[in-house]
Amino acid sequence: MLHKWTNPLTFNAALIGAIATITMVQPQIVLSLTPEEINQQVKGFTVKIDGVEKGSGVIVAQSGNQYTVLTNWHVVDSDGNYTIETSDGITYQSSKIEQIQGVDLALIYFNSSQSYPVARKGNSDKLIEGDTIHYGGYPASQGRVYRFFGSQSITGFVEKADVKNGYEIIFNGTAIGGMSGSPLIDDNGNLIGIYGKTEVNFPGGFSLYGIPINKVTNVAWNQVCSNVNGQVVNKNEKQALVFQISELVNKGDQQFRQSQYPAALNQYRKATEIAQKNNLDCHDPWYYQGITLLKLKQPNEAIASFDNALKSDPNNYTTWCKKGNVLAYLGELEEAKKSYRQATIIIPNASGRSKDCKILSERFSGN
């Protein structure tokens, strides 16, 4: 039986197999991303750092042609020149390095006219034991190729009195040299820490340590919004508005996880209203509003939200896929094809992505 908000129509027999592969009774819609989706994000904003020492880093801010990379101080604390290689294989000379006092962190800058994704800051204060985290970076050995370690677990936290250089998060994973400075990412794709330390546990095994992202207070986080024009007249005003929107989105996320969908929707709507009023391009509140509307069985309104999200970030693979899924549920197969085709333009090889989008992208990309 099709979901009750699926339009009645006669399905093309050639498409039945593809559409039926997704559970049509009730869309399984959650805020969490798959490890494959998180990997695509991490790979985009993680960089390789070379110089006197080797490490990894994460792009955390952009202002014009200047990009800001967050890494460990011990990766760049030796005198010398350092280069930054981005996900497209282009190498840039660092323009400036700044130590962040009190923690083993540093900011390294480079200039480029290219467009690179920027990590979105999460809230490390809400982490607990058992939370799932993911990380990726560039080992110093093995040809310095990118490596991703998904679905690791936080095993504990260092007592406040024993914290040194900011390392508080303890998690499991694989210890490889050159991964210092790698981003720690939660299930929603948010940056919640920086990996930079490993200790051997006797009689065997390792403990990995990370610095909570809330220790970083001197970065103008891009967070949930990007381009600004119109009524936002200065940088401080922009940061205040973006922070306000981020707080609303975070509160909505918490309520969503507690199945408080009307309350979550209210938070996302407040965030989108602020964004619209101030001409801020904000993908995330529109996207999460769409996801919540699906939970409330309002698919047409969800599609409108996804359309607004795509105006802010037209190259967001996941949003095109979600939109395609909803159109397919509604029986609007031609429009669904357009969304899936757009997704395959952004990422031609969709293998390893979320199962439903992968199947339909492959099914429709040649039609």
The pLDDT of 201-229, averaged and rounded, is 70
Which tokens go with 287? Answer: 């996207």
Residue 26: its pLDDT value, please? 36
Residue 7 carries which DSSP code?
A: P
Taking alpha carbons only, the member of 317, 35, 20, 314 closest to residue 149 is 35
**Least confident among 183-187, 240-244, 294-298, 306-310:** 240-244
Taking alpha carbons only, the member of 294, 298, 292 closest to residue 269 is 292
CB within 8 A of 137, min separation 6: which ones? 46, 55, 56, 146, 147, 178, 179, 180, 181, 182, 183, 195
Mean pLDDT of the chain: 81
Preceding peptide of 203 cis, ω within 30°? yes
pLDDT tens, 107-128? 999 999 888 888 888 888 889 9
pLDDT tens, 219-231? 655 555 654 433 4
Taking alpha carbons only, the member of 257, 233, 168 closest to residue 207 is 168
Task: Assign residue 39 a region (left: φ > 0; alpha: ψ between -120 and 50; beta: otherwise).
Answer: alpha
Residue 78 carries which DSSP code?
A: S
**Least confident among 151-165, 185-199, 223-237:** 223-237
- Which domains, ranges and CATH numbers included, belong to the chain? 13-37+221-364 (1.25.40.10), 46-111 (2.40.10.10), 120-215 (2.40.10.10)
Residue 165 has pLDDT above 60, yes or no: yes
Residue 32: its pLDDT value, please? 63
Task: Assign residue 230 a region (left: φ > 0; alpha: ψ between -120 and 50; beta: otherwise).
Answer: left
Q: Is there a contact between 172 and 208 (Cβ–Cβ < 8 Å)?
A: yes
